[in-house]
Structure 1
């Protein structure tokens, strides 16, 4: 082990994880590149698990942040009014919501993804007076108790240390097979008085399951789910913490389905620069909070307001979204070729937009591909219940040359992993 890594081994909790997959000390980052203390350069196809959709240290955001800090602007404000919050609310409404014919009140919970999910679950129960929540297989919504209750991963659920209640798991789109509409199952449960499933307060889901293995819901399935929720007066919560802010090609991941969720959860890249920040979007008729009924000490991160506002300005130019779609086409084409050219993976392409990957039927090989990639100067992670998917999360504004460089490293890594892999036998 590198002697400089010993301090982390000796003093930091055993719970650390990403530093085990990427065992070096990173010192600098710019755009889609990172450097470690030895000067080694890495292409970043991880992007802070989706928190850095615009890459590292975006120059426009950095300049605005430096100017604000230099002016002694307010850093911490709880929910007091400040110019950065005013600018963010105005820009979000004018540049994002109105052009998409969406009307939401904006709530600032704590600064993380699980904070926005907790606020959404609490509000849905308050609005409806019901307790149960429908969630879906392989969903991931956070690590606090309420969010864990609607998360599917058995390993993460076990970490709660207590029983997790008031949630019912239903099959996600194509969970059983490509021919079965899993919403038939949900609809039957809701209609049948003997099913044992009460009409819930809410349904919560990701349109693309980032941690759950890049499973994605079709537009038809999402539209039918919205109709079911409306019919049974169930609030529809879309968790766009990871799949939002351009990650699937549009600002909100649900836009292509033509749905209008009752509540939308956002964090990660909504802050633009990587600073902790989360928002909960609520249809106005459901904004029934009493003042202070839900709060958080760090819900007023003005540094994040500054960078988030600057980030939203990119979306005012239609060419920005068009450029994302071109990158999506490149990623899809590349992954389809890899799956075809390397049958040793027994793999197929999953996901949507710039959150795609290859699900490998050969046990353990996705982890080996990711490890080989790191050794060659590319950072990416795996996903899925058994880490069977290696996934690509490049910045949505990555330049073509760096994107192609990343592709080359991945292909080299697939070759190396396939040649070294020894199949697991029973």
Structure 2
């Protein structure tokens, strides 16, 4: 009898625990989603809005709109429906790109075999989230040109402050009359780490393309493989961007089926971009986006208002390091082994005008701020002759002085007018 009396309290306690768990799961999911959207906006590239939201104990649903921070050439509409559990929340939905009338007219007709759908899971206790998307094949046609995307898959996972992205595309084919560019399969892997409001962040990306081919009626060009690495860091003092391009053999089968036209790799780093000025420029852009007309790509006079921040970004004298250029051409018998650096003179920045860069005189003022030097090691004899240097010259020293090029102490000859 005593055991039977305990059944009702036990069931009631279990029901309370279940309800509390469901409520906690719903609240934590909502908080995690809101934090993720705020983190996305903090990068200064996107505007995110929640146009619909319905939060419940057992399920939640809503609709999100993502668009570029300035203007609305396109929007990405995402719908979601979340089913809350005590330990995890399962989410699924659709995404639909929406183009403005001008871009729709430029892109043309889009045909897809099915609407893109995505699914994911949020783990209540750890805060870890996963999202997967399968992209069905689709075709874009416009004025005789055709872009065919033969399907792909996307996976996004992580927690606050650390997200990983993996995108695999089966193949992309761009056809324009008799010419065709084929790319893929390709794989993009990215990791983004940050602190609150993206005050500091780091992003590492790697794009691997198995094969790239360009077909013309007269000849074909093939490249396999192609790798692009990039690393971007915003710390307390500067923004640094490092990039590396690695090319496999570039082949022209119709001309030399067994010999590569070229292969090699190039690595560069851009540094000393003022971090505080970048953060201020991002804040101003977000403010302009909030005040401006959503239908305009850029508010009138925006560049003038941004100019002080843009110039301040250059205040620490940015530096471009060409870490290495190692490119070999077995077909031509040439090899480039070079390195060097280029510097920007940041003194008296108030003499520069960003809004007048479309004028030749203003571009000349900016070029005068460039100084640097590059060395081509073991340069081929034919290059020395081409530059008007003695036959035995094996090392080429390129100097940039106030935007003017010199080679081995001599003014650079005008090669393009010859």
Q: Please state which band the TM-score falls in when normalised by the shorter chain.
A: under 0.3
**What is the TM-score when the length of structure 1 is the normalising length?**
0.23
Determine which structure has greater relative contact order: mean sequence separation of CA pairs < 8 Å that are 6+ residues apart, divided by chain length.
Answer: 1
Query: Higher helix fraction: Structure 1 or Structure 2?
Result: 1
Find the structure with the greater CA-based Rg. 2
